[in-house]
Amino acid sequence: MEIQGEDDYFVKNTPPKNIEEVEKKTKEFLNFQIEKDRRVVLVTSGGTTVPLENQTVRFVDNFSAGTRGSASVEYFIEQGYAVIFLYRQHSLRPYSRHYSHSKNCFLDMLDIDNDNIIVNNKYNSFMKIILEKYKKAKAENLLLEIDFFTVKDYFFYLNKITKILSTIEEKAMYYLAAAVSDFFIPPERMVEHKIQSRAGGLNLSLDQVPKFLKPLVSEWAPKGLIVSFKLETDPDLLISKARQALDRYGHQIVIGNMLLTRKRVVHFITKDAERKIEMSDEELKNGMEIETKIISELKIKHDNWIEQSKN
Ligand code: PMT
């Protein structure tokens, strides 16, 4: 498999059409937050798709629904952060996630009263709490949402946003929870039209995507607090792979999680320490989410990161 260099990737691939608009919005959002003296976090979320055709009918995808990313945004805002949310189109979004989940259809929360639509009493107080938080985040301009679909667009946006955000140096945090594809079809090998089935079975050959964590840490945002995630399915690999990522990229925190237990347990791996964060049955039963603990812990780490930079 051929591995392209990072710079090469941005030359050989075409940027998304609205990249300049995203750049403008990000700069305006950041300038507003600088005026307010707020910290800003970039949260990436959801899976990335790898198209098989230019006029895309089929693509390779992964499991991520964006639960981790969208939930984390709400807790970051509670901790006083402004958030840039880079999320996979149609994956979960902060606040609306409480109503859009497949198990929680918002239509079931509504009733018809003569000519009016009203909220069913059973859901009223819950809906009000979420709606108030959402309105506050909007009114105070605490959330900028940017969506992507393909892994290519994700990397173009990541590059652009990260470089803009790096101007606030240590006050920025990068929370990379998206499940990013490691493989793609380079533009020169991509067919234009729908792959036909009459030829029988389909053999795919994918190239490796460069690990963009490397330039992100060393060049794009060298002063920010960078938190990456490591997902594994084999428990014997998790901690060693997380530590390997930390050594390889030289950033500050890797959060390790297992596919099947990711809502209950995560491992914080830093240069000198390792800490397990876990939810009890009681906490889960009460509707508490592990992201509340993750973000509280990260806020403290970010305080220390900013403090250290002053010395
Ligand atoms: O959305 P949910 O259903 O709630 O699931 C949440 C989650 C399990 C997706 C999330 O918690 C998580 O673990 N996200 C990272 C998954 C992942 O991509 O792991 P990885 O081991 O393949 O990659 C490690 C890191 O390298 C990631 O931070 C990724 O952004 C980065 N990467 C990956 C590929 C690539 N080409 N370049 C990268 O920089």
pLDDT for position 7: 73
- Name the residue with tokens 């949260």: 43
Task: Give me the residues of the chain with pLDDT under 70, please.
Answer: 1-5, 101-102
Task: Determine if ligand 1 sits within 6 Å of the CB of residue 179.
Answer: yes
Q: Is 162 in the pocket of ligand 1 (CB under 6 A)?
A: no
159 is written with which tokens? Answer: 């590059």
Check pocket membership of 230 for ligand 1, CB cut-off 6 A. Answer: yes
Going along the chain from its start, the domains and CATH numbers come out as 5-103+143-195+203-309 (3.40.50.10300)
**CA–CA separation, 286 vs 56, rounded Å?**
43
158 lines ligand 1 (CB under 6 A): no
Q: How many other CB atoms are there within 10 angstroms of residue 133's CB atom?
A: 16
pLDDT for 2 equals: 47
Three-state secondary-structure class, residue 143? strand
CA–CA gap between residue 171 and residue 81 (Å, rounded): 10
Q: What is the pLDDT of residue 102?
A: 64
Alpha carbon distance 197, 89 (integer Å): 28
Q: How far apart are CA 31 and CA 33, in angstroms?
A: 5
Sign of the four-CA dihedral 49, 216, 157, 137: positive
Residue 16 is predicted with a pLDDT of 97
Task: For Cα atoms 70, 88, 162, give the angle at the middle one, nearest 5 degrees.
Answer: 80
Any ligand 1 atom below 6 A from CB of 212 = yes
Output the CA 238–ligand 1 centroid distance in Å.
13
Residue 204 contacts by C-beta under 8 Å, 6 or more apart in sequence? 52, 60, 185
How many whole angstroms from 120 Cα to the centroid of ligand 1?
A: 38
Q: Is 182 in the pocket of ligand 1 (CB under 6 A)?
A: yes
Tokens linked to 134: 């959402």
Structure tokens at 173: 């945090």
Distance CA 148, CA 82 (A): 20
Question: Residue-wise over 162-192: b if at least 16 C-beta within 10 A, else e?
Answer: bebbbebebbbbbbbbbbbbeebbeeeeeee
Q: How many of the other CB atoms lie within 10 Å of CB of 275?
A: 10
Distance (angstroms) between ligand 1 centre and the Cα of 30 equals 25
Whole-number Å distance between alpha carbons of 210 and 257: 22
List Cα–Cα distances, 123 to 100, 113, 118, 301, in angstroms: 14, 16, 11, 36
Is the CB of 229 inside a 6 Å radius of any atom of ligand 1?
Answer: yes
- Indicate if ligand 1 lies below 6 Å from the C-beta of 228: yes
pTM for the predicted model, two decimal places: 0.95
| Ligand 1 binding pocket mutation candidate from 180, 184, 237, 264 (most atoms within 8 A of CB) | 180
**Length of the chain counted residue by residue:** 311
CB 148 within 8 A of CB 173: no
Q: What is the pLDDT of residue 1?
A: 42
Strand partners, 257: 231
> What is the tens place of the pLDDT at every residue in 57-113?
999 999 999 999 999 999 999 999 999 999 999 999 999 999 876 677 888 889 999
CA distance linking residue 104 with residue 100, whole number of Å: 6
> Helix-strand-coil percent breakdown of the chain, rounded to 5?
45, 25, 30
Ligand 1 contact, 257 CB (< 6 A): yes
Best CA proximity match to 167, nearest among 303, 40, 73, 21:
40
